[in-house]
Amino acid sequence: MNVDGGVGWLSVEHCSMLLKPSLLSHQSNFRFSRETRIFWARNSTNSYMAPPILSLALPSDTGRVLSIQSHTVQGYVGNKSAVFPLQLLGYDVDPINSVQFSNHTGKPRYPTFKGQVLNGQELWELIEGLEGNELLFYTHLLTGYIGSESFLNTVLQVVNKLRSINPELIYVCDPVMGDEGKLYVPQELVSVYREKVVPVASMLTPNQFEAELLTGFRIQSEAQGREACRLLHAAGPSKVIITSINIDGNLLLIGSHQKEKGEPPRQFKIVIPKIPAYFTGTGDLMTALLLGWSNKYRDNLEIAAELAVSSLQALLHRTLSDYKNAGHDSQSTSLEIRLIQSQDDIRNPEVNFKAEIYS
Residue 281 in contact with residue 174, Cβ under 8 Å? no
**At 353, which amino acid appears?**
F
The CA distance from 82 to 70, in Å, is 10
The CA distance from 263 to 325, in Å, is 51
- In this prediction, residue 51 carries a pLDDT of 80
User: Where does 59-357 sit in CATH, by number?
Assistant: 3.40.1190.20
CA–centroid distance for 347 within its chain: 17
**At 118, which amino acid appears?**
L
The CA distance from 229 to 224, in Å, is 9
Closest CA to 145 of 193, 90, 203, 202: 193
The CA distance from 200 to 171, in Å, is 8
Exposed e or buried b for every residue in 137-174, given b needs 16+ CB within 10 A?
Answer: bbbbbbbbbbbbbebbebbeebbebbeeebeebbbbbb
- In this prediction, residue 149 carries a pLDDT of 93
Q: Any idea what DSSP says for residue 259?
A: S
Strand-pair partners of 42: 48
The CA distance from 139 to 169, in Å, is 5
- Under 8 Å CB-to-CB from 263, ≥6 apart: which residues? none
| Burial status of residue 92 (CB atoms within 10 A of its CB: 0-12, 13-18, 19 or more) | buried
Helices vs strands, H then E, count in the chain: 10, 18
- In this prediction, residue 121 carries a pLDDT of 92
* pLDDT tens, residue order, the chain (359 aa): 443 443 333 333 433 333 333 333 343 333 333 333 333 334 445 556 778 888 888 878 889 999 999 877 777 788 999 999 999 999 999 999 987 766 655 444 444 445 667 788 999 999 999 999 989 999 999 999 998 999 999 999 999 999 999 999 999 999 999 998 999 899 999 999 999 999 999 999 999 999 999 999 999 999 999 999 999 999 999 999 999 999 988 999 999 999 999 899 999 999 999 888 888 889 999 999 999 999 999 999 999 999 999 999 999 999 999 989 998 887 777 888 999 999 999 999 999 999 999 98
The CA distance from 275 to 145, in Å, is 24
Q: Is the dihedral of CA 304, 90, 98, 111 positive or negative?
A: positive
pTM for the model? 0.83
The 10 Å Cβ neighbour count of residue 111 is 11
- Under 8 Å CB-to-CB from 120, ≥6 apart: which residues? 148, 150, 151, 153, 154
Which positions are catalytic? 284
